């Protein structure tokens, strides 16, 4: 069948119980039973849950062939823990048929690509896949299709029991011997542990991995010791240089600055830009710079931001310190300044779980209260569908993250991207993979002009009133093709290598094997 974004979803997938995407709020109001983990009692007092090794913890938690393990990505590309644990499971313990459910996978977990190729890892479920793992999956080497879910879709799937985690291995900056764990207070701090919180509640077994063991009780903790089975102490949980930069830098690239300024102008021209407005913040090239230009509009109009949501950086923290932002709701931190800020200002800088942030099945995720989301794109098509999952060569190399969640929840979702990236048209006729459906996207800002989704006539009127020029998105796509030529169609194999789930668990798109890479 063709789903609501015009993608052909194969019958064999629909026969397994999947439905095709039917619009952004199709499952709103439906009732479901939350799943619960199968846990072991620790009734008898114990002095410590510290294990001698990761292997001992795995054995204690009943690690076995065919199980599903999970990891979080708050240590980003600096994470050592996922690879460390997978090595023990596969190489030391000889386990096989494993499924890895992670909040994101990238170069730091390249080792898993080998295990996929060897058939040891047969399933991948993640909100992002980059590096060699994406390549081997696209080559068709993973036994079952990878499942790509957004930051909100992943906790939904866990709560609904679509994925059941046998053991979660949660890297923490500091922990006490009974398992109270946090992202600060250690040798290698990542700040918020927003990605880890839900797994601690829903996995059958919870193993904390830290390099800084502190005295009990390590409070306030992101992960509560009552949920923890084992604590492992290792030399290093990550590479500090890759966990967070010292301070996120605002770009000096004139093209990015121009786009950022245009985004801020669009925001200031819409009716939601008033005292107490809310804003999804991140650190991509132009989107960080948007903060700076927004600051100018806020000062001019003498208004403050109610809350900023998402990934925190020095820029948004400094805006809060100047009194321009009431609250920071922090699912992850990108630089050392933000990590320190979270530790210092618990009254106004709050750690939140990704489930609270984005889960469409909870009783009101924070994204639902967003006025503005400013997001990037690898590709956007003339129907405003966005791809942040696959490259233009069809290979998995992107991270949907919270993109589809913030887009669906916010009143005004602005995509900002250059028209052309390295001789590839960003604005195209049809995206390779639909990650965020066009019915969630409102405005596109490029270096060659602005386009408004025709379903948002109200926003078009706002821009007209403010004297902000805009064009049909088709004009932008044609301009890109005029400069670059029309791209050839990709050549796909038959095998479905990945399923791109919508936030609500329907199928937005499938990714097929690439013929040659």
Partner 1 sequence: MIPRPKPKKFRLRRTMMFMNAQKPKLIRDAYIYGCDSIILDLEDAVAENQKDAARFSLYHALKNIDYGDTEVIVRINGLDTPHWQEDIRCVVAGGADGLRIAKCESADDVRQVEAHVLAAEREFGVEEGRTLLMAALESPKGIMNAYDIVTASPRMFGCAISGGDFRKSMHVQIVRGGIEMLTARGLVLLAARAAGVQCFDTMYPFIDDTEGFEAEVRQNREMGFDGKSIVNPRQIRYVHETFAPTEKEIAYAEKLIRSFNEQANQGVGVYTVDGKMVDIPFFEDAHRVLALAKACDVYRGDL
Q: How far is the CB of 254 from partner 1 (least distance, A)?
A: 4
Could you say whether residue 94 binds partner 1 (CB under 8 A)? no
User: In the sheet where 427-428 sits, what is the strand order?
Assistant: 386-387, 379-381, 427-428
Question: Of 35-43, 95-103, 255-263, 347-355, which segment contacts partner 1 by CB under 8 A?
Answer: 255-263
- 430 sits near partner 1 (criterion: CB under 8 A): no
Q: Tokens 């410590």 sit at which residue? A: 48
d(CA 89, CA 431): 38
Closest contact distance (angstroms) between CB of 55 and partner 1 is: 53
Residue 254 is a binding residue for partner 1 (CB under 8 A):
yes
Is residue 465 a contact point for partner 1 (CB under 8 A)?
A: no
Work out how close the CB of 281 gets to partner 1 at its nearest, in angstroms, rounded to a whole number.
Answer: 22
Read off the tokens for 79. 């994470």
Helix, strand or coil, per DSSP, at residue 315: helix
Q: Which residue, 293 or 366, has its beta carbon nearer to partner 1? A: 293
Tell me whether residue 122 or residue 258 sits nearer to partner 1 (CB atom): 258
> What is the nearest approach in angstroms of partner 1 to the Cβ of residue 448?
6
257 part of the interface to partner 1, by CB under 8 A: yes
Applying CB under 8 A, which part among 94-102, 159-167, 254-262, 356-364 lies near partner 1?
A: 254-262
| Cis amide linkage into residue 217, ω under 30° from 0 | yes
**Rounded CA separation 210/24 (Å):** 39
Least Å distance, CB 486 to partner 1, is 17
Residue from 19, 110, 447, 478 in contact with partner 1 (CB under 8 A): 447
Q: Among residues 264 and 377, whose Cβ is nearest to partner 1? A: 264
d(CA 14, CA 496): 13
Is 256 one of the binding residues for partner 1 (CB under 8 A)?
A: no
Q: Which among 240, 224, 136 is positioned nearest to 189, based on CA atoms?
A: 240
Instruction: List the one residue out of 82, 85, 91 whose CA is nearest residue 57.
Output: 85
Apex 27 CA angle, 26 and 32, nearest 5 = 175
Residue 116: exposed, middle, or buried by beta-carbon count in 10 A (0-12, 13-18, 19+)? buried
Tell me the per-residue interface mask from 200 to 239 with partner 1, x by CB under 8 A, - otherwise. ----------------------------------------
The nearest distance, CB 106 to partner 1, in angstroms, is 29
Of the pair 273, 293, the CB lying nearest partner 1 is at 293
Name the minimum Å distance from CB 415 to partner 1: 17
- Least CB distance to partner 1 at residue 413 (A): 23
Q: Which helix (H) or strand (E) holds 285?
A: helix 285-301
* Paired sense of beta strands 443-446 and 449-452, if any: antiparallel
Q: Candidates 24-32, 155-163, 228-236, 249-257 — which segment interacts with partner 1 by CB under 8 A?
A: 249-257
Distance of alpha carbon 344 from its chain centroid, rounded? 25
Residues 483-502 that bind partner 1 (CB under 8 A): 483
Site string for partner 1, 390-429 (x = CB under 8 A): ----------------------------------------
β-sheet with 305-312: strand ranges across: 349-351, 325-333, 305-312, 277-281, 372-375, 412-416, 443-446, 449-452
Q: Nearer Cβ to partner 1, position 29 or 467? A: 467
Number of residues that bind partner 1 (CB under 8 A): 9
Collapsing DSSP to helix, strand or coil, 480 comes out as helix
CA dist., res. 511 & res. 337, Å (int): 38
Which lies closer to partner 1 via its Cβ, residue 269 or residue 305?
Answer: 269
- Residue ranges with strand state E in 422-468: 424-425, 427-428, 443-446, 449-452
Q: Does 467 engage in binding with partner 1 (CB under 8 A)?
A: yes
The answer to whether the CB of 348 falls within 8 A of the CB of 323 is no
- Site mask for partner 1 (CB under 8 A), range 29-68, x = bound: ----------------------------------------
φ and ψ at residue 482, rounded to 5 degrees: -65, -40
User: What is each CA distance from 153 to 315, 362, 408, 447, in whole angstroms?
Assistant: 28, 11, 12, 32
- C-beta of 232 vs 380, nearer to partner 1: 380
Q: Which stretch binds partner 1 (CB under 8 A): 213-221, 225-233, 252-260, 324-332?
A: 252-260
Which residues form the interface with partner 1 (CB under 8 A)? 254-255, 257-258, 261, 447-448, 467, 483
């Amino acid at each position: 069948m063709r789903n609501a974004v015009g993608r052909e979803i194969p019958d064999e997938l629909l026969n397994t119980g999947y439905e095709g995407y039917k619009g952004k709020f199709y499952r709103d109001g439906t009732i479901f039973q939350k799943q619960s983990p199968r846990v072991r009692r620790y009734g008898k007092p114990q002095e410590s849950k510290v294990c001698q090794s990761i292997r001992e913890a795995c054995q204690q938690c009943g690690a076995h062939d065919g199980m599903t393990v999970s990891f979080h990505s708050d240590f980003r590309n600096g994470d050592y823990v996922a690879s460390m644990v997978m090595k023990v499971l596969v190489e030391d313990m000889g386990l096989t048929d494993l499924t890895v459910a992670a909040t994101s996978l990238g170069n730091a977990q390249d080792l898993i690509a080998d295990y996929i190729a060897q058939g040891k890892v047969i399933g991948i479920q993640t909100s992002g896949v980059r590096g060699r793992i994406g390549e081997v999956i696209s080559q068709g080497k993973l036994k079952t299709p990878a499942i790509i879910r957004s930051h909100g879709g992943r906790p939904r799937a866990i709560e609904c029991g679509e994925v059941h985690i046998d053991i979660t291995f949660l890297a923490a900056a500091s922990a006490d011997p009974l398992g109270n764990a946090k992202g600060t207070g250690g040798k290698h701090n990542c700040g918020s542990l927003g990605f880890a919180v839900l797994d601690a509640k829903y996995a059958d077994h919870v193993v904390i991995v830290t390099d800084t063991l502190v005295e009990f009780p390590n409070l306030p903790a992101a992960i509560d010791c009552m949920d923890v089975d084992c604590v492992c102490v290792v030399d290093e949980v990550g590479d500090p240089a890759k966990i967070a930069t010292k301070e996120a830098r605002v770009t000096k690239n004139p093209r990015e600055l121009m786009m950022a300024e245009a985004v801020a102008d669009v925001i200031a021209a819409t009716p939601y830009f008033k005292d107490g407005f809310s804003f999804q913040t991140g650190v991509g090239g132009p989107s960080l710079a948007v903060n700076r230009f927004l600051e100018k509009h806020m000062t001019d109009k003498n208004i403050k931001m109610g809350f900023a949501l998402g990934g925190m950086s020095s820029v948004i923290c400094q805006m809060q310190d100047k009194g321009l932002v009431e609250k920071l709701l922090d699912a992850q931190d990108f630089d050392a300044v933000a990590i320190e800020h979270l530790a210092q200002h618990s009254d106004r800088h709050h750690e939140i779980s990704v489930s609270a942030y984005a889960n469409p099945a909870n009783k009101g995720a924070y994204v639902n209260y967003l006025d503005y989301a400013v997001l990037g794109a690898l590709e956007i098509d003339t129907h405003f569908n966005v791809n942040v999952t696959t490259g233009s060569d069809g290979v998995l190399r992107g991270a949907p993250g919270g993109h589809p969640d913030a887009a669906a929840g916010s009143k005004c979702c602005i995509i900002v991207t250059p028209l052309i990236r390295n001789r590839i048209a960003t604005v195209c006729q049809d995206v390779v993979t639909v990650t965020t459906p066009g019915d969630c996207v409102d405005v596109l800002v490029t270096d060659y002009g602005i386009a408004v989704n025709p379903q948002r006539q109200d926003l078009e009127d706002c821009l007209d009133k403010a004297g902000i020029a805009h064009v049909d998105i088709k004009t932008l796509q044609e301009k890109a093709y005029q400069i670059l030529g029309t791209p050839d169609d990709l050549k796909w194999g038959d095998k479905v290598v990945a399923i791109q789930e919508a936030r609500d668990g329907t199928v937005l798109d499938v990714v097929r094997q690439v013929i040659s890479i």
